[in-house]
Amino acid sequence: MNCRSEVLEVTVEARQVEEAMLALLHTILLHRSTGKFHYKKEGTYSIGTVGTLDIDCDFIDFTFVRVSSEELDRMIRKAVSEFKDALSNSGSDGMGQISLEFYQKKKSRWPFSDECIPWEVWSIKVNVVNLANEQERQICREKVGEKLGEKVINVVEVINRHEYLPKMPTQSEVDNVFDTSLKDVQPYLYKITYQITDSLGTSVSTTMRRLIKDTLAL
């Protein structure tokens, strides 16, 4: 099975990192989650509803939609918070990547552990820039909101393609495809990882600063 790989890239100031990552990760998971399965008998089941919430960002002119599950939100926020802290500890300007990998389990014979086979990976590259004053921050607030809107549309377009998804499992195999640990939603099995690099590519930093400077000149 070939694993699909998608890459998104955003440039933000430090205070926007958390909201930008939550917006993108929650958007992806919204489309990679189902309601809880309720089995009547093997091969027959109904699927519960998935509630949604509109979330307004504080540091970006942007509103995103997420699954209303507080349990899922806590898990995503924990991963994003760890990534944000690692980024901030890497220096004033930094670059990092947070990845959301969807996988399914393949049962192995004892004494071997189950094999985890990825089928889709989303990598979000994050460039952090420092801005000189409040006027630049306000422009960045608007520009990042516009860019996030473009990224969300891109995510939806990719997800709407007719490509591989794990087939709906039988009751005995549901834990090989979905995370059934949450009480109100059932995302595909996933894991979040991140990595940090020490310095920001000058081309990315320069592009954002030029964008802000051009807006100030208008």
Specify the length of the chain in residues. Answer: 218
pLDDT digits (tens, 9 = 90+) for 134-152: 999 999 999 999 999 999 9
pTM higher than 0.85: yes
Predicted confidence (pLDDT) per residue in 22-59, tens digit: 999 999 999 999 999 888 776 678 889 999 999 999 99
Beta carbons within 8 Å of 97's beta carbon, 6+ residues apart: 123, 124, 125, 126, 194, 195
**What pLDDT is stored for residue 93 in this prediction?**
60
Highest mean pLDDT among 38-52, 64-78, 89-103: 64-78
How is 13-77 classified by DSSP, letter by letter? EGGGHHHHHHHHHHHHHHTTEEPPEEEEETTEEEE----EEEEE-SSSS-EEEEE--HHHHHHHH
